[in-house]
């Protein structure tokens, strides 16, 4: 269960749809529109949907995160930089 967005989705709806929400009087109708917009953002913000739309290479199970990170680190070259010898005298 991952979500992808620049901020919390509820806050994004409040800021991004402020004009649409302010047109309606405060009450059940505005609340219903807000809930509908939040539901749409959650649907679009699911990690799988975001990965498909944003061309993210992979969505991994959180339980496999450590294995993926270790595989990436193991794949990196491990060339040790040559050390210069500095005479203390």
What pLDDT, on a 0 to 100 scale, did the predictor assign at position 88? 76
Domain assignment present for residue 58? The answer is yes
Quickly state the pLDDT bin for 4 (edges 50, 70, 90): low
Q: Is residue 88 part of a domain?
A: no
- Assigned domain for 57 exists: yes
Say yes or no to pLDDT of 79 above 90.
no
Domain carrying residue 61 = 9-75
- Helix 47-54 vs helix 28-45: crossing angle, to nearest 10: 60
Mean pLDDT of 37-51: 77
The tokens 């450590």 sit on which residue?
66
Q: How many domains would you assign to the chain?
A: 1
The answer to the question of residue 69 being in a domain is: yes
The 8-class DSSP code of residue 51 comes to H
Residue 37: pLDDT band by 50, 70, 90 thresholds?
A: very high
**Is 3 domain-assigned?**
no
């Amino acid at each position: 269960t991952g979500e992808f967005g620049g901020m919390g989705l509820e806050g994004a709806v409040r800021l991004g749809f402020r004009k649409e929400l302010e047109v309606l009087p405060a009450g059940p109708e505005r609340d219903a529109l807000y809930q509908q917009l939040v539901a749409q953002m959650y649907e679009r913000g699911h990690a799988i949907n975001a990965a498909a739309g944003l061309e993210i290479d992979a969505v991994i199970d959180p339980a496999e995160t450590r294995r993926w990170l270790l595989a990436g680190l193991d794949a990196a070259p491990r060339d040790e930089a040559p050390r210069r010898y500095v005479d203390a005298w």
